[in-house]
Amino acid sequence: MSRRGVDFIGVGVGALIVDDAGRLFLAQRGPQAKNERGLWEFPGGSVEFGERLADALRREMREEFGIEVEVLELLDVVDHILPEEGQHWVSPTFLCRVRSGEPAIREPGKCSAIGWFAPEDVPAQLSLVSRENLAHYLARGEKATPPPGGGVHTRAEPGEKTDPPLDESIWNS
């Protein structure tokens, strides 16, 4: 059986979740995580075949932390190449807000701890991708906290509520 990120390049979507106080949500990778065990990260997970990025992100946040997130805008796309672990991932990360729920660890093998951190208090032991995500987030300066109402457009089933359309100006920044 082929393994994502090992036998072929995998896609792992991430969420840089910001609360109203400007704090960032991080999770510490557990002993059964696919890679970078013990490091802190902006959480996320693998995209399944046929799944849209924003849908995968919402699914992962629901499964791993019991929260519903609003996907606001694309922050960056990072090459996540781990030669020592024999893995290669492409990792788009989105700015998000918690829409409902209180984060809790639902998969303790994959996640050892969670917390909210001011940007200047983020743990130093960050995953490769999360270090790059944090640098890109901080470089945004006053634009760091996304405005309410931004979102990613996904095709909805009849009667299903979706986020507002994506602000395409992000592709030109």
Which of 1-10, 21-30, 74-83, 101-110 bottoms out in mean pLDDT, i.e. has the lowest?
1-10
Q: Is 74 exposed, middle or buried (0-12, 13-18, 19+ CB in 10 A)?
A: middle
Reported pTM: 0.79
Q: pLDDT digit string (tens) for 136-172?
A: 999 988 555 554 444 433 333 444 444 444 444 444 4
Please list the alpha-helical segments (H only) found in the chain.
53-65, 128-139
* All domains in the chain, ordered by first residue: 10-149 (3.90.79.10)
